[in-house]
Chains A and B, each alone.
Chain A
Amino acid sequence: MSRSDMSALPDAVFRSRPALGLPLLVSEISVLFRRRRTWAMLASLALIPVLIALAVRLTSSRPPSGRGPAFLDQVSQNGLFVSFVGLLVSVPLFLPLTVGVVAGDTIAGEASAGTLRYLLIAPAGRTRLLIVKYLATAVFCVAATLAVAIAGALIGVALFPIGPVTLLSGDSIAVGDSIVRSLLIAAYITVSLLGLSAIGLFISTMTDVPVGAMATTIVLSVVSQVLDSLPQLDWLHPWLFSHYWLGFADLLRQPISWDSFGSNALLQSGYIVVFGALAFGRFTTKDILS
């Protein structure tokens, strides 16, 4: 839709245009969280720590230390570790998977459902729609991470004893402190997923087939992690968006090492700006046919 079409609309429409697009954001988020798919994804994410906790609880033998994912051997002594293990396990695949689905669906989903042009006829500029779509994806990132962390904490409290948490450095911190650290880790992982969301948003503006955008986003997250594990490409590693994904362990050291948090935030903001600009270029110039 071009600008001349917009001028055909009565002035009242323009006057009633909200300044910040806040109602649009609210409606977008409510649409996202009214979908059964979103809840199914959040529920399956929450199931990961629950399954881990049940597996540890039901098997009598303690897992030998040094095998399986990190922290797993501590779960039986301290329930607070369930959410750490859950986050650790879901970072490489499950979280990118769900975020890829939501981010890939943003524009392509509207286009395939034929609702994109109605969204644009309603007084929502393309740029604003793009920003609102991205923010809704970011909200999903927060929700997805918290789903794992909170489900892990709850099942841990229910099944295992709770006590001071042993950090990687060997020091122990109180339960209250450990909750703060869990929230910091959740924040770290949310930030980690924002770059992928921006990539997904851009891919979503390129196609009218949401499944294609979702699959491409998820595949890219896997490709990035594979490249990150090849030592021959170490010059490329600091530029890969998945490079710091597992760096949240630095928040479990004493004193907290903020280096990877800072580098991660910088890297992800770079991805957001670059792919945000690409998505803006693509979405504001493309012909909306559906």
Chain B
Amino acid sequence: MRIHPKTSMKRVPVDSRTNDGDMQRTIGNAEYFRNVVLCALYRTRKVANMSRTWLKWMPAVVVPVLIASAAVAVPFAANAAVTLPTKTPAQVLALIAGEKVTALSGTLSQTSSLGLPELPTTGADASSGSALELLTGSHTARVFVDGTAKQRVQVLDRMAERDLVRNGSDVWLYDSKKKTAVHSTLGERALGTSKPEGSIPTPDQLAATLLKSVDSTTIVSLGSDLRVAGRAAYNLVLTPKVSESLLGSVSIAVDSETGLPLSVELFARSQTTPAFSVGFSKLDLGTPDASLFTFTPPAGAKVTEKAPKADSTRPTAPRSPAEKPTISGTGWDSIVAIPVDTSAAGKKSLSVTSSPLFGKLTTNVTGGHLFHTSLVNILLTDDGRIFAGSVPVAKLQAAATAK
């Protein structure tokens, strides 16, 4: 049956109305659906844009986090996983005694935090070069050793350097700041045994001095193994038994291969950071370049010749017993007493007490002036005697009044 649309529409108006309504709803739905899709698309794009914005800030967040974690992880990883064959303290002491390192080149860093006031280091020319400099702050030196007769120590200052070059019996001291070169010849007796005084003690020199005082008053133990200058090392700990010493403990890092002391740290009583430490930050056991040990003073430097040491510094006449420093007490508790020095040098040293720096560094105590550091107390009595020791002030005062 063929129905004309017009007639059919006329015939069923209600249906058409309902149809109409359906159609309208269908259109509404489509529009609604389109809107929903568009809105969703818009929102995803907006979210995508936002996340793109966020992504662009990502490097700025990630990079500092990476750097911070590397800064934490690298030293940690360097110290981790040092496992050495177990040794007794006695075996480590024997290892040090059997040390046969003849040649090395390395960088030493030395730090002190003795509780002294620190002076600001400003500008390029802040190296002090005074005797006090070892007591504050930190210093770096390079050390080159070839055999017993060839040494070079370079104390690296800012924009300056102090050099000590020893080749056989010839010793040169060069100061780049003052432009001075001092030449001296070591006497036959001193050859091979004495070490020219450098301004930074090397760990093996310091360890040798400290190990000399190991006796029954010292507990020798081993701490956990560590890594110094990239080398695995045993950690030898010396603790004074006596409770009165200011020195809490000494820890010496001993190279596991050669027995060379790599670092020495002195801890004051009840302190966790070392009051004084010196150690290699870089070490190479190869023979240094021979040209390092030949020194010719540069043009323009003031060259002075110093007479052999044995003649100049030591008085020819032996000191009378009254002038000699005396040591009382034993082990870590010992007190060094230096009597009144009447010589010209002594008068000169006494004039030090009138300088304003002296007043700042010392405090007035009964019986004299006290120079206090976390490791050592030095009492300068009013009559010019000096008492020094790693002991409390009261013991020094007692020693001073006992005489």
* A→B interface (CB under 8 Å): 65-66, 69-71, 73-74, 77, 88, 92, 163-164, 166, 168-172, 229-232, 246, 249-250, 253-255, 257, 259, 270, 273-274, 277-278, 280-281, 284-285
Among B107, B159, B176, B298, the residue within 8 A (CB) of A88 is B159
Minimum distance in angstroms from B44 CB to a CB of chain A: 15
Minimum distance in angstroms from B203 CB to a CB of chain A: 19
Residues of A close to B176: CB separation below 8 A: 168-170
Cβ < 8 Å to A, chain B residues 217-239:
none
Which 4 interchain pairs have the tightest Cβ spacing? A277-B59, A166-B298, A70-B159, A170-B174
> Do A257 and B142 contact each other (CB < 8 Å), given the known contacts A69-B125, A170-B176, A230-B120?
yes
Whether A253 contacts B59 by the Cβ 8 Å rule is: no
Cβ < 8 Å to A, chain B residues 196-248:
none
Residues of B close to A231: CB separation below 8 A: 118-121, 137
Report the separation of the CA atoms of residues A73 and B62 in the bound assembly, to the nearest whole angstrom: 49
Whether A273 contacts B63 by the Cβ 8 Å rule is: yes
Cβ < 8 Å to A, chain B residues 94-120:
107, 118-120
Report the separation of the CA atoms of residues A164 and B383 in the bound assembly, to the nearest whole angstrom: 55
List 12 additional A-B contacts (Cβ < 8 Å) besides A166-B298, A281-B59: A66-B179, A70-B159, A70-B160, A88-B159, A166-B301, A170-B161, A170-B181, A229-B123, A257-B156, A273-B63, A277-B59, A285-B56
> Do A229 and B122 contact each other (CB < 8 Å), given the known contacts A169-B163, A170-B295?
yes
Whether B60 contacts A170 by the Cβ 8 Å rule is: no
> Do A172 and B299 contact each other (CB < 8 Å), given the known contacts A70-B124, A246-B124?
yes
Whether A246 contacts B56 by the Cβ 8 Å rule is: no
Among B57, B118, B161, the residue within 8 A (CB) of A168 is B161
Residues of A close to B368: CB separation below 8 A: none
Report the separation of the CA atoms of residues A273 and B70 in the bound assembly, to the nearest whole angstrom: 14
Closest to A230 in B: B120
Cβ < 8 Å to A, chain B residues 146-186:
154, 156, 158-161, 163, 165, 172, 174, 176-179, 181
Among B53, B154, B178, the residue within 8 A (CB) of A66 is B178
> Do A74 and B156 contact each other (CB < 8 Å), given the known contacts A274-B63, A274-B64, A281-B56?
no
Closest to A246 in B: B124
Among A170, A253, A284, A285, the residue within 8 A (CB) of B298 is A170
Report the separation of the CA atoms of residues A246 and B122 in the bound assembly, to the nearest whole angstrom: 12
Whether B300 contacts A74 by the Cβ 8 Å rule is: yes
Whether A277 contacts B60 by the Cβ 8 Å rule is: yes
Minimum distance in angstroms from B151 CB to a CB of chain A: 14
Report the separation of the CA atoms of residues A284 and B57 in the bound assembly, to the nearest whole angstrom: 9
Minimum distance in angstroms from B119 CB to a CB of chain A: 8
Report the separation of the CA atoms of residues A259 and B158 in the bound assembly, to the nearest whole angstrom: 14
Residues of A close to B63: CB separation below 8 A: 273-274, 277
Report the separation of the CA atoms of residues A175 and B124 in the bound assembly, to the nearest whole angstrom: 25
Among A69, A163, A229, the residue within 8 A (CB) of B299 is A163
Whether A281 contacts B57 by the Cβ 8 Å rule is: yes
Residues of A close to B156: CB separation below 8 A: 250, 253, 257
Among A171, A257, A280, the residue within 8 A (CB) of B60 is A280
Residues of B close to A166: CB separation below 8 A: 298-301
Report the separation of the CA atoms of residues A257 and B140 in the bound assembly, to the nearest whole angstrom: 12
26 pairs of residues in contact across A and B, judged by CB atoms under 8 Å: A65-B178, A69-B124, A70-B124, A71-B159, A73-B179, A92-B123, A163-B299, A166-B301, A168-B176, A169-B154, A169-B161, A169-B176, A170-B172, A170-B176, A170-B181, A170-B297, A172-B298, A231-B120, A232-B118, A250-B156, A257-B156, A273-B67, A277-B62, A277-B63, A280-B59, A284-B56
Closest to A232 in B: B118
Whether A246 contacts B158 by the Cβ 8 Å rule is: yes
Q: Is B93 an interface residue (CB 8 A)?
A: no
Residues of B close to A164: CB separation below 8 A: 299
Report the separation of the CA atoms of residues A65 and B181 in the bound assembly, to the nearest whole angstrom: 14
Q: Is B289 an interface residue (CB 8 A)?
A: yes
Whether A255 contacts B57 by the Cβ 8 Å rule is: no
Q: Is B292 an interface residue (CB 8 A)?
A: yes
Cβ < 8 Å to A, chain B residues 46-84:
53, 56-60, 62-64, 67
Residues of B close to A285: CB separation below 8 A: 53, 56-57
Minimum distance in angstroms from A125 CB to a CB of chain B: 12
Minimum distance in angstroms from A264 CB to a CB of chain B: 14
Residues of B close to A73: CB separation below 8 A: 179
Minimum distance in angstroms from B150 CB to a CB of chain A: 15
Minimum distance in angstroms from B181 CB to a CB of chain A: 7
Report the separation of the CA atoms of residues A246 and B158 in the bound assembly, to the nearest whole angstrom: 8
Minimum distance in angstroms from B157 CB to a CB of chain A: 9
Closest to A245 in B: B124
Report the separation of the CA atoms of residues A7 and B119 in the bound assembly, to the nearest whole angstrom: 63
Whether B159 contacts A249 by the Cβ 8 Å rule is: yes
Report the separation of the CA atoms of residues A171 and B161 in the bound assembly, to the nearest whole angstrom: 11
Closest to B122 in A: A229
Residues of A close to B122: CB separation below 8 A: 229
Residues of B close to A278: CB separation below 8 A: 60
Closest to B142 in A: A257
Closest to A249 in B: B159
Whether B158 contacts A281 by the Cβ 8 Å rule is: no
Minimum distance in angstroms from A153 CB to a CB of chain B: 19
Residues of A close to B292: CB separation below 8 A: 254-255
Cβ < 8 Å to A, chain B residues 329-388:
none
Minimum distance in angstroms from A174 CB to a CB of chain B: 13
